[in-house]
Structure 1
């Protein structure tokens, strides 16, 4: 079965996640907009709920753009009222196919509405709210049909609807937390540690994926925020039990508190909030302090991580003009016995950000 994944804002990261979840998949075509793979059959809606970096998921229904195939698919749908359908174009320009399909359907007695948007691809919001049967035109080469779109309302609720949010120390988006957990490739029900748990985003997403979670932080506020947010999650989700343990401890002492774990997924302290006017020597001082923290953390991780377990961790990358300054500790981590799994840089960023999140995957 050929499946289409419409990628998020950070396509390399989205693809890395997909291949971590579907390691047996064969890549058919890869662009900055979409990924087509061959894989054994799975439930599309269930798969998309598992992924954080994929916007839409669909199935290939043709190797050429065909009005006939599209019309036949739409005629098979038994709409209770008017049939809503739409076309999204990726890596190609829109054409008049939508209007041609609409005319043929109406001539056949099918009451229908062509759903359009301001962009050449329909957003997940438009597809969901219009209950739209969406067809994907991919590079004028592949014809696909959407089977699921990202649950944007659920993500928004878990991001902005929680009782505790710490804007000062920074917030990890739930989608990114889910991506990182998937990159860990931990087995179902694995024990995952976040030793910089903050307000509990990684714990939250891990619990929803069925893992046992352990969170720790050296901040009283972080511990309080995490407990409040996980209780909110219990009340507002399908989870009957919150299978998580929370400890107040410094990462430098984590091995004295936590037993063995299957994976570590975390965003450590990324440094103080920047004003945007810092000199290079100021950034280098921050990098020196952070390097010491990260090195010590990896030394502790070595003591608690099971053999072959993975660490998925964010390093800050500081943007100063056209220059990027990173933590110079990769060789030191290697000497501690960890192997870097990701072969290319995985960046999570937005335009204009002074500090990029650079994701590393290590294996013990």
Structure 2
């Protein structure tokens, strides 16, 4: 029986790919329309484990799985502790039914449980929200992870298949915010890779402490900082001296926060498309490349095709010039821009896929799309490996 449950964020496919890279696909079963994964894992420190995953928002322990929804209420009630005198509890509900239906059911369960708690002379505060999945912020701020609290999560996979879990850890939103908005050198006009996504990309590369990664377009140093936090040696370069200065400033800030022991990194100015410096053997190349200029409205298809061609040219140059430094079995994780044009989305996959074989690389999986609502530029994430001779 699965012992641990992972709930993914809005980019569920990316969260699953990341978790698969960490745990191995044989240990996973997805439910609730792909938003949840069950894993045969016993985790000693749930919060520390979750902190290493950018694509998962909650880690639960499995309480029960059952086919009869009628026994659910009593099962939930039995999980609520008789102490303290006043209990804080919340319920999340994931499944195929509509948001309105799930919110209505959550409210009904909450009122029924409060009545049962009152029957044993225990006060209770039922925590709810406008979303069927309580956010990490709500869970933390309402003490649902404390001894005085509890969050229960109901997951419906299909008719007559239900799972009940208890939340053990939630995503550390404060830490991610500090590593993003709290850095001293941050320029929103230049664009910035979210720390969560940088963490996901490193996990997709399957890098381990003591290994070495290279980001040839390091920008403000987000991938480098997340690599250092994993105990990985980080090498970064950029053609823009302003970016190098920003990376140096941000990494110095990170070290002062006391999160790192013996950080090992190098920074230098270089053209990513050329071999201007000999590199040590690399376990992985992890980089975003260029997404082009900020967009305020959808570009024309011709404009987007021009921007995409420039980005693909840069990435293919990186693959060509840095290939000799990649260890056998090494991986490359890159992002390509995914533009919303005045004629719809422009998919970079057909053009880029045609170039991989001649470059000596193979895609290990289908590309993953990272995109926020109303964004004009998404990120298409590619996982590559060297083609065997």
TM-score normalised according to structure 2 size: 0.87
Return the alpha-carbon distance in structure 1 between the equivalents of residues 213 and 76 of structure 2: 45
Deviations, residues 1-27 of structure 1 (Å, cap 9, x unaligned): 332211111111111011111115433
Return the alpha-carbon distance in structure 1 between the equivalents of residues 137 and 275 of structure 2: 42
**Match runs of 1:30-41 below 5 Å:** 30-32=31-33, 34-41=35-42
Tell me the CA shift for residue 270 of structure 1: 1.7
| Residue 69 of structure 1 pairs with residue 69 of structure 2 | no
Tell me the CA shift for residue 281 of structure 1: 2.3
1:138 is aligned to: 155
Q: Equivalent residue of 2:187, what SS?
A: coil
Counterpart contact for 2:4–2:61, Cα < 8 Å:
yes
Q: Equivalent residue of 1:362, what SS?
A: strand
| Residue 359 of structure 1 pairs with residue 381 of structure 2 | yes
Q: Equivalent residue of 2:236, what SS?
A: strand
**Match runs of 1:260-299 below 5 Å:** 260-276=281-297, 278-299=299-320
2:19 is aligned to: 18
Structure 1 segments unaligned to the other structure (5+ residues): none
Q: CA RMSD in A?
A: 1.9
Q: Which moved more, 1:88-97 or 1:312-321?
A: 88-97
Deviations, residues 110-159 of structure 1 (Å, cap 9, x unaligned): 33221112222211111011111100011271111111000001111111
Deviations, residues 66-93 of structure 1 (Å, cap 9, x unaligned): 22222222226x54x6321110111242
Deviations, residues 9-62 of structure 1 (Å, cap 9, x unaligned): 111111101111111543333344622323131232222111001111112111
Deviations, residues 159-200 of structure 1 (Å, cap 9, x unaligned): 101001122221000000001000001233211111111001
Match of 2:365 among 321, 324, 342: 342
Tell me the CA shift for residue 325 of structure 1: 4.2
User: Judging changes above 3 Å, is the alpha-carbon distance between structure 1 residues 335 and 121 closer, same or farther for their aligned structure 2 residues?
Assistant: same
1:48 is aligned to: 50
TM-score normalised according to structure 1 size: 0.93
Structure 2 segments unaligned to the other structure (5+ residues): 145-149
User: Judging changes above 3 Å, is the alpha-carbon distance between structure 1 residues 275 and 67 closer, same or farther for their aligned structure 2 residues?
Assistant: closer
1:179 is aligned to: 200
Return the alpha-carbon distance in structure 2 between the equivalents of residues 31 and 237 of structure 1: 39
